Structure 1
Amino acid sequence: MTVDLRADKPGSRALCGPAGLSLRLEPRALTVGLLLVAAAVAMAVVLIGTGDFEIAPWDVVQTLLGNGTPANDFIVNDLRLPRVVVALLVGAALGMAGAVFQSVSRNPLGSPDLLGFSYGSSVGALVVIVLFKGGATEVAAGALVGGLITGVLVYLLSYRRGIHGYRLVLVGIGVSAMLVAVINYLLTKAELVEATRAMVWLTGSLAGRDWSQVWPLLVTCAVLFPLVLGQGRALRMMEMGDDAAYALGVRVERTRMLLMLAAVLLTTAAAAAAGPISFVALAAPQLARRLTRSPGSNLLTGALMGAVLLLVSDWASQRAFGADQLPVGVVTGLVGGVYLLWLLVTERKAGRI
């Protein structure tokens, strides 16, 4: 075992252990991460107490600790807690997936929304809804299969002696356009009931989520998060270029394929649980990078930022529009559209696009 305590940047600490496992600690990134955890916990408590029957934050905490009234216990643990847990997991999954795609493509526009994976999940779900009249479980399975097929297709079309960032983005945009056409065709062929159900799913919503959506998503995140974080060092090396990564001993194509597969699975699992919620995967890693001021992939902070963004968006969807509660996908779409325009202007001023 070789122990290397050199840090990658001033003020950071690198801790290494067996089998080359390393953890780089940067004070600012650690502070931002802790603040995001605190914000996520606080927002989760507020969101659990939000609804037609308001519950004070202290009463929510007491109920979660097992000291609430029977009425509060039913509302908190059976009705609202699953929705909040799904929001946390979906936001974290999208944030980490977006960080992976942006790092692999070395492009701030590299996200599941623009690369077509979310649309692939949508096509898979709509095929089940419109053509087979499937239930919730079948729709989730269709979304998963559709996203995986799209991921394989984008990878194969982008591959030419390796994956180039802009080629990946351009292929993803082209595949997205074709998948949107398929979605529109399926909607025109659907009967009124199926079309209405499909539109609700396509918007992205956390309403009515229960523990049956929590457990598959929790297992997926529990398996894939450590896998992705374990490749963080290799991912940072790959950002320097394939040749430099090869020289440092990274098996570039194998690592890239593994990371992209994990990110596609996270994206499709999130879509299966809550629908194709847009722009969280695009915005979360960039916001995390600006807060930490770290040039790395920001995998963990990106996941935490995604969780916070989705919790805040869900709260806004319930409170910011009076009695008219909106699906959370509408709020993330509104905010994300503004963010995308700002990002494009910023990148153009910087001469990167």
Structure 2
Amino acid sequence: MSAPAGRGRQAPRPTQLSPAAIGHPLRVAGGRVSLRVHRRAVLVAVGLAAATLAVFLVSLVVGDYPIALPRVLLALLGEGARLDRFFVVDVRLPRVLLALTIGAALAVSGAVFQRLSRNPLGSPDLVGFNDGAATGALLASVALGGAALSSPLGAVLGGTLTALLVYLLAYRQGVQGARLVLVGIGVSAMLSSVRSYLITRSDLTAAQGALAWLVGSLNGLGWAQFWPVLTGVLVCGLAVVPLSRQLSLIEMGPDVSGGLGVAVQRAQLVLMLAAVGLTAFASAYSGPIHFVALAAPQLARRLARTAGAALLSTALMGALLLAAADLVAQRLFAPVQFPVGAATLVVGGAYLGWLLARERGEGRV
């Protein structure tokens, strides 16, 4: 017999969001444009921007040839000693700008994947897209004799094809988060075997360079690499921003988001391709840098405490994490410079262990 009305198992109550998480309405242009401003998210973004600026300036000051901050500012204006201008403008400035751009791109990409999969482990470096970009770049260089090891075209094509493959394999009346993660992990393992085979088929010099590149490093990069990376990241990032609201709705599930008028499958595909593009351009020259895409979105969201995507805070957090990690990798054991990917692997591995323990304690894994 069915239970009488009002008895038995009760329906779950809807999630209650605090006013701080929902934000405060702001209307401009005579009320024609309406925005929601999250006070805490704004404060977090300002704090992250200040911390990022501090790391940016420190990266220009310190080094084997230290330069005082006033001299750094003169060099940025094209004045001062010739040696100061060389180290600041030609050596240190493009490297720190690359770190900021790549970190922001990886963070936004990670935020998109985690929300699409509704899984904190759904970042591009764990579900195969990072590996697809790296394999494509390595294939274009080692197997096809590319002019540069980290071929941007190979990275973009490899990441895109991997995304399409994972999407098709995970699709079954929609894309479920757990299925996407599991399929991505399997594809990632296959791509790892492909990279190992490519390295064994290359000569010793190319194999050593490939192994160093696969760790993820900003060593030796300059303006020639910065402008293509910046262009690709801006194009893909601009594709994500208009869909940020739909991204928050998709996280509620296909039934709810579809009922709210979201074209779920089309939005998922566009967001995934844009996120893959961010990952591919970020790793095109530096190699795959792990765990920034995993940690930055979650740290930013915990600090901002918003119900939305918090893309600005996420991008600033990723830029800050990678720039700080690169600074530590350069100066911790100076004059020896470690690849920044080694630093992020150590910190990210500890963070992943903590995250798994926390998710298991809450009964999610």
TM bin (shorter chain): over 0.9
Matching of residues 140-289 of structure 1 within 5 Å: 140-289=152-301
State the partner residue of 1:3: none
Please list every run of 5 or more consecutive structure 1 residues that lacks an aligned counterpart in the other structure. Answer: 1-7
Matching of residues 1-353 of structure 1 within 5 Å: 9-11=18-20, 12-15=23-26, 23-136=35-148, 139-353=151-365
Query: Would you say the 8 A contact 2:150–2:287 is kept in 1?
Result: no
Query: Would you say the 8 A contact 1:187–1:195 is kept in 2?
Result: yes
Classify the secondary structure of the residue corresponding to 1:47: helix
| Deviant stretches of 4+, over 6 Å | none
Please, what TM-score do these two structures have when normalized by structure 2?
Answer: 0.90
Cα distance in structure 1, aligned partners of 2:71 and 2:37: 36
- The residue identity in structure 1 corresponding to 2:123 is S
Shift of 1:222: 2.2
Please, what TM-score do these two structures have when normalized by structure 1?
Answer: 0.93
Cα distance in structure 1, aligned partners of 2:280 and 2:81: 38
- The residue identity in structure 2 corresponding to 1:223 is V
Please list every run of 5 or more consecutive structure 2 residues that lacks an aligned counterpart in the other structure. Answer: 1-16
How many pairs were matched up?
Answer: 346
Describe the shift of the 1:139–1:81 C-alpha distance in structure 2 as closer, same or farther (beyond 3 A).
same
Q: Share of identical aligned residues, percent?
A: 51
Classify the secondary structure of the residue corresponding to 2:350: helix
- The residue identity in structure 2 corresponding to 1:282 is L
Cα distance in structure 2, aligned partners of 1:70 and 1:158: 56
Cα distance in structure 2, aligned partners of 1:213 and 1:80: 13
- The residue identity in structure 2 corresponding to 1:77 is V
Shift of 1:239: 1.4
Shift of 1:235: 1.1
- The residue identity in structure 1 corresponding to 2:25 is A
Cα distance in structure 2, aligned partners of 1:22 and 1:315: 40
- The residue identity in structure 2 corresponding to 1:298 is A
Cα distance in structure 2, aligned partners of 1:91 and 1:22: 30
Query: Would you say the 8 A contact 2:122–2:181 is kept in 1?
Result: yes
- More divergent stretch after superposition (83-92 vs 69-78): 69-78
